[in-house]
Amino acid sequence: MSGLRRAAARAWGPPRALRAFSARPRDRETLTGKYGEDSKLIYDLKDQGGELLSLRYDLTVPFARYLAMNKITNIKRYHIAKVYRRDNPVMTRGRYREFYQCDFDIAGQCDPMIPDAECLKIIHEILSALQLGNFLIKVNDRRILSGVFAACGVPESKLQAACSTVDKLNKMTWEDVKNEMVGEKGLTPEAADLIGEYVKLHGGLDLVEQLLQDPRLSHNKLAGEGLRDMKLLFEYLMLFGIVDKISFDLSLARGLNYYTGVIYEAVLIQQQNDRVEELVDVGSVAGGGRYDGLVGMFDSKRQKVPCVGVSIGIERIFSIVNCKVKASKEKIRTTETQVLVAAPQKHFLAARLKLISELWDAGIKAEMLYRENPKLLKQLHYCEDTGIPLAAIIGEQELKDGVVKLRDVATRQEVDIPRQKLLEEIRRRLES
């Protein structure tokens, strides 16, 4: 995860106030009513003494709770930690019941779309740095979706349910989505058909302009706000130089209840004969949006703290990187050991222990075999097998001469180095 950490450290503080997120598994009610249909995937703990507790489902709700409890109205932070979902795991695709998320969030009063654009820049930066292949960031806005649903005749009360259904469009055909809307969610077939026309749309700034002129949406206040903000967002993303990876996509809904404004999701894509195809196997690798009401839900005075954030799906990304590594058949070192301390004769364990201790104390990454009298050949093979570049060999002659034999494992060249110059020489070799 060090790549992620580096990206995260660039402009974000370290994961502050670690404790505040984790005094104990959370009271069950903290999580109630935040996740919509997905609530059934929450892991509950057994009642072992009158406490109803659950495992956290994501990092967003705990973050919002933390802000409210500590009266924090302004913070920017990242957080890498585990979340739990009682879902059907698919190991090969990086879908687990316990998995890591990496979240970035910006909380506080800001002018429109500035932090939102930064979240998209972060996604772009991470996915580019990891060289996962081509990707696309779909963007939409809950207010635009609300406007579309309202214009299509969906009553306010059925809005969230309609959102959840539209969110399944990447897994289900439009036919099935429509059936669910009409059958389960109680929309009229006419409303569903009209929604179908809108959610097919995707494009760039031109689509935003087109919808701003759409007569059905022009009277809807929320849709107007959403579209004007979307225009602003595109302007900022242009300045960030990432607009070519952005798609304004009206089918993007995101299932979670707490989003209030812009929403986004990154997917990997494949260019095939002029056709862009989504790699549906892994699903989205990052997603997020604006949630201006969530902090207020935890505050006794309902004080709102506007927030926008993004979650990176670490396991899904790992599974893709893993596939790439396997395909390339490159041998990857699993340790960072720089020097193996070895001896050519028996009865040199004490000398090895003393030498390795000196190397450790000097901050050099060193190993030795955990045997009293290992064969020299075995020690040298170990270097070759694990990719350790140097061997520091100490035996009878070396001890007598006050030197250590330094062996370059790749070239097999050996040079006697005076003991007091050893650290310096090792550092010199490691740098070059």
Which residues inside 236-255 make contact with a second copy, applying CB under 8 A? Answer: 236, 239-241
Q: Nearer Cβ to a second copy, position 63 or 99?
A: 99
The reply to whether 420 sits in an annotated binding site is no
Output the six-digit token pair for 4: 């992620």
Stretch that binds a second copy, among 38-46, 150-158, 268-276, 418-426 (CB under 8 A): 38-46
By CB under 8 A, residue 13 contacts a second copy: yes
The reply to whether 259 sits in an annotated binding site is yes
The reply to whether 60 sits in an annotated binding site is yes
By CB under 8 A, residue 105 contacts a second copy: no
Q: Using CB atoms within 10 A of its CB, is residue 427 exposed (0-12), middle (13-18) or buried (19+)?
A: middle
By CB under 8 A, residue 11 contacts a second copy: yes
Q: Which of 36, 37, 89, 205 binds a second copy (CB under 8 A)?
A: 89
Distance CA 102, CA 110 (A): 23
By CB under 8 A, residue 228 contacts a second copy: no
Cα end-to-end span (Å), the chain:
26
| Sheet order of strands, 403-408 included | 366-367, 339-342, 390-393, 403-408, 414-418
Q: Nearer Cβ to a second copy, position 198 or 264?
A: 264
Sign of the CA dihedral with 252 first, then 254, 260, and 266 last: negative
The reply to whether 101 sits in an annotated binding site is yes
> What's 29-43 look like in SS3?
HHHCCCCHHHHHHCC
- What would you report as the CA-atom Rg of the chain, rounded to the nearest whole angstrom? 28
For residue 138, the number of C-alpha atoms closer than 13 Å in the C-beta half-sphere is 23
The reply to whether 281 sits in an annotated binding site is no
Q: Nearer Cβ to a second copy, position 326 or 370?
A: 370
Q: Nearer Cβ to a second copy, position 95 or 405?
A: 95
The reply to whether 59 sits in an annotated binding site is yes
Q: Are 390 and 409 in contact (CB under 8 A)?
A: yes
* CB neighbour burial string for 164-191, b if at least 16 within 10 angstroms, e if fewer: bbbbbbeeeeeeebbbbbbeebebeeeb
Which residues inside 346-385 make contact with a second copy, applying CB under 8 A? Answer: 349-350, 353-354, 357, 360-361, 363-367, 370-372
**Nearest approach, Cβ of residue 84 and a second copy (Å):** 7
By CB under 8 A, residue 204 contacts a second copy: no
Q: Which residues contact 118 (CB under 8 A, 6 or more apart)?
A: 106
The reply to whether 334 sits in an annotated binding site is no
Output the six-digit token pair for 97: 């019941």
By CB under 8 A, residue 174 contacts a second copy: no
Q: Nearer Cβ to a second copy, position 46 or 326?
A: 46
Distance CA 314, CA 99 (A): 8
Nearest alpha-carbon partner for 63 in 87, 94, 43, 34: 34
Distance CA 113, CA 233 (A): 6
By CB under 8 A, residue 276 contacts a second copy: no
**Nearest approach, Cβ of residue 245 and a second copy (Å):** 14
Stretch that binds a second copy, among 208-216, 291-299, 329-337, 402-410 (CB under 8 A): 329-337
- The site for a second copy (CB under 8 A) is made up of 9-14, 16, 18-19, 22-25, 43-49, 55, 81-82, 84, 86, 89, 91, 96-99, 106, 108, 110-111, 114-115, 117, 121, 125, 235-236, 239-241, 315, 318, 334-337, 349-350, 353-354, 357, 360-361, 363-367, 370-372
Binding site: residue ranges?
A: 58-60, 85, 101, 105, 254, 258-259
